[in-house]
Amino acid sequence: MFQRMEVIGRLGRDPEMKYTPSGQAIASFSVATDNQYTDKSGEKVKETTWFRVQVWGNMAEACNKYLTKGSIVYVAGRMVSDKATGAPKIWKKKDGSSGTSFEINASEVKFLSTNKEVKQEESAPVDEEIPF
């Protein structure tokens, strides 16, 4: 059996770098994807879905070095579910409403924008609070 999750989106903040006790690098970052459609009443609806990404080893170090908030990335890997429920993780926003966190253990990350492009655009497509 096999599963593979692929997303293209923008980083919501700079990657966070950590190391395991054995010295292996782990980079974590959040990626936002947007979907826009027109509902039955003619109103435009914009949905943002967040993915929490973990990258290991040399790829983690490269992500930490070259990616910044707003960078456009392609991420492929295995979806990780909440061990207790088998579903995506659910979290509470500051306003009391709930959000969902989809998590990906990345096996591949491709940088689709340069730092120069990110600085020119300067803002990620984020209208809501980053959940993590």
CATH number at residue 101: 2.40.50.140
What's the whole-number mean pLDDT along residues 17-35?
96
The answer to whether position 132 is within a domain reads no
The answer to whether position 84 is within a domain reads yes
The answer to whether position 109 is within a domain reads yes
The answer to whether position 39 is within a domain reads yes
The residue ranges of DSSP E strands in the chain, in sequence order, are 5-11, 16-19, 25-38, 44-56, 72-80, 89-92, 98-111
9 pLDDT higher than 60:
yes
The two tokens of residue 86 are: 């088998």
The pLDDT score that the predictor gives to residue 62 is 95
The answer to whether position 117 is within a domain reads yes
113 pLDDT higher than 90:
no
The pLDDT score that the predictor gives to residue 120 is 56
Residue predicted with more confidence, 101 or 69 = 69
| pLDDT bracket for residue 129 (50, 70, 90) | low
The answer to whether position 57 is within a domain reads yes
The answer to whether position 128 is within a domain reads no
What's the whole-number mean pLDDT along residues 59-87?
92
The answer to whether position 130 is within a domain reads no
Distance CA 89, CA 116 (A): 34
Containing structural domain, residue 66: 5-121
| Number of domains present in the structure of the chain | 1
